[in-house]
């Protein structure tokens, strides 16, 4: 559990660019949305639905201890109860400060508060082709290529947190795939395929930042970015691809025999931190091996651990 907790913590701080200290809004609005991260869960990998319900209840109880029970019910945006321990909520600045400064040693079901930061929007980002890193040469795969050594990512499950996916794309064809790995616990909002085995959406975080942002309640990709980048990570082989007849060849992702799952957390307004974290929480629980994101600005990897007894902060 220690290694898993460290992994979850590192993945979390990848999406918090200001984790050296709690971050609060310098805005005129009195209530905005924050994310409260509480470290690891008491439950392990074999957690039950009752464990998840218990975690959700504990988050509500904890928030209610600061803002009152009635307000807590309306303020809660997400309760991260599966693999990540924390929640997103509408808070006044002083409430967020009070939570950030609180040591939770007297709460049996919670570790201490690790950090509190404002829920903000990230932007989508992309990169170049696999030939650039010498995995392919002149449209062919060399014998010594890591593609072959890695068996093209066979049965690795890649989670993709982005603007969703267009499942009809030929890059997500089932050709060459066997049954879905038995360890998979996720689902598709439409029919499950053998390659594209999961699709979910999260939009409460962006709506909390700006209620005018529409709730597009689907995992389908209407931006194009998610489909493009997911196929770059794990798209199947698609022969005969060209740009209006130019540069004809075979298109494929970095792991063309991997299974892929899309977690839509982005729209034309960006990607809310709270929605990204909801994607992480679900992807880890669903049983993925890799989580892929193509977002900016570039975020700092900061490992911060606070010792409960001394209050000392260690950062790397």
Give the tens place of pLDDT for each residue, 1-51: 444 444 444 444 444 433 334 555 544 446 799 999 998 888 877 889 999
Dihedral over alpha carbons 60, 10, 266, 257 (to 10 degrees): -120
Clarify whether residues 20 and 128 are in a common domain. Answer: no
**Which residue in the block uniquely carries the two structure tokens 């409430």?**
95
187 contacts 250 by C-beta, under 8 angstroms: no
Clarify whether residues 74 and 172 are in a common domain. Answer: no
pLDDT score at 311: 41
What CATH number is given to the structural domain containing 166?
3.40.50.200
Clarify whether residues 86 and 224 are in a common domain. Answer: no
Clarify whether residues 131 and 202 are in a common domain. Answer: yes
What does the DSSP assignment read for the chain?
Answer: -HHHHHHHHHHHHTT-TTTTS-----SS-SEEEEEEE----SS-TT--HHHHHHHHHHHHHHHHHHH-HHHHHHHEEEEE-SSS-EEEEEEEHHHHHHHHH---TT-TT-----EEEE--EEEE-----GGGGTS-BTTB--TT-HHHHTGGGTT-EEEEEES-B-TTSGGG--TT--SPPTT----BSS---SSEEEEEE--HHHHHH-TTS----SSB-SSSHHHHHHHHHHPPPEEEEEETTEEEEEE--SSTTSEEEEEE-EETTEEEHHHHHHHHHHHHHHT-SEEEE-EES------EEE-TTT--EEE-
Mean pLDDT along residues 292-315? 48
pLDDT score at 147: 79
Query: Six-digit token pair at 180?
Result: 């879905």
Strand partners, 270: 267
* Cα distance between residue 291 and residue 206, in whole Å: 21
Clarify whether residues 135 and 65 are in a common domain. Answer: no
Query: Six-digit token pair at 67?
Result: 């803002």
Clarify whether residues 163 and 255 are in a common domain. Answer: yes
Q: Which of 267, 303, 306 is nearest to 16 (CA)?
A: 303
pLDDT score at 129: 60
pLDDT score at 148: 81
Clarify whether residues 107 and 211 are in a common domain. Answer: no
* Cα distance between residue 149 and residue 166, in whole Å: 30
Mean pLDDT along residues 185-212? 88
Tally of domains within the chain: 2
Clarify whether residues 73 and 164 are in a common domain. Answer: no
198 contacts 291 by C-beta, under 8 angstroms: no
pLDDT score at 37: 92
Q: Which residues contact 215 (CB under 8 A, 6 or more apart)?
A: 203, 207
Q: Is the pLDDT of residue 70 over 80?
A: yes
* Cα distance between residue 38 and residue 58, in whole Å: 11
Domain span including residue 215: 123-296
* Cα distance between residue 12 and residue 211, in whole Å: 25
Tell me the per-residue pLDDT of 268-302, one tens digit each, with 9 for 90 and over.
889 999 999 999 999 999 999 999 988 776 443 33
pLDDT score at 125: 62
Mean pLDDT along residues 166-184? 90
Tell me the per-residue pLDDT of 204-263, one tens digit each, with 9 for 90 and over.
999 999 999 888 899 999 988 999 999 989 999 888 887 777 667 788 888 889 999 999
Between strands 313-315 and 196-201, the pairing is unpaired
pTM here is: 0.74
Q: Which of 66, 58, 57 is nearest to 100 (CA)?
A: 66
Task: Give, to the nearest 10 degrees, the angle between helix 2-13 and helix 273-286.
Answer: 150
Please tell me which of 4-8, 75-79, 308-312 the model is most confident about, judged by mean pLDDT.
75-79
Query: Six-digit token pair at 41?
Result: 């869960």
pLDDT score at 247: 67
Of 86-100, 137-151, 178-192, the range with the lowest mean pLDDT is 137-151
Clarify whether residues 127 and 203 are in a common domain. Answer: yes
Clarify whether residues 37 and 171 are in a common domain. Answer: no
What CATH number is given to the structural domain containing 32?
3.30.70.80
Of 64-68, 114-118, 312-316, the range with the lowest mean pLDDT is 312-316
Tell me the per-residue pLDDT of 87-139, one tens digit each, with 9 for 90 and over.
999 999 999 999 988 654 444 444 578 889 999 988 876 444 666 667 777 76
Clarify whether residues 133 and 99 are in a common domain. Answer: no
Q: Is the pLDDT of residue 190 over 60?
A: yes
pLDDT score at 299: 43
Clarify whether residues 166 and 152 are in a common domain. Answer: yes
117 contacts 91 by C-beta, under 8 angstroms: no
């Amino acid at each position: 559990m220690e290694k898993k907790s460290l992994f979850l913590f590192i993945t979390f701080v990848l999406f918090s660019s200001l984790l050296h200290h709690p971050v609060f809004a310098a805005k005129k609005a009195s209530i905005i949305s924050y994310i409260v991260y509480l470290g690891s869960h008491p439950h392990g990998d074999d957690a039950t639905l009752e464990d998840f319900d218990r975690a959700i209840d504990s988050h509500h109880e904890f928030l209610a201890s600061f803002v009152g029970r009635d307000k807590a019910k309306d303020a809660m945006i997400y309760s991260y109860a599966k693999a990540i321990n924390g929640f997103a909520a509408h808070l006044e600045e002083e409430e967020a400060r009070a939570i950030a400064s609180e040591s939770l040693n007297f709460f049996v079901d919670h570790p201490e508060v690790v950090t509190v930061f404002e829920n903000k929007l990230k932007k989508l980002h992309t990169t170049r082709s696999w030939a650039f890193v010498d995995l392919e040469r002149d449209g062919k795969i060399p014998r010594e290529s890591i593609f072959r050594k890695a068996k093209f990512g066979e049965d690795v499950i890649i989670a993709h947190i982005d603007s969703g996916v267009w499942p009809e794309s030929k890059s997500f064809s089932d050709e060459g795939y066997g049954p879905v790995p038995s360890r998979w616990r996720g689902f598709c909002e439409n029919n499950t395929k053998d390659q594209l085995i999961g699709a979910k959406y999260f939009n409460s975080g962006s709506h909390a930042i700006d209620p005018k942002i529409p709730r597009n309640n689907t995992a389908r990709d209407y931006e194009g970015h998610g489909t493009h980048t997911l196929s770059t990570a794990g798209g199947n082989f698609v022969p005969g691809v060209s740009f209006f007849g130019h540069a004809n060849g075979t298109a494929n992702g970095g792991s063309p025999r991997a299974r892929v799952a899309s977690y839509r957390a982005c729209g034309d307004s960006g990607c809310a931190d709270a929605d990204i974290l909801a994607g992480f929480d679900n992807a880890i629980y669903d049983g993925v091996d890799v989580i892929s994101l193509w977002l900016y600005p570039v975020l700092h990897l900061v490992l911060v651990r606070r010792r409960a007894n001394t209050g000392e902060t260690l950062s790397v």
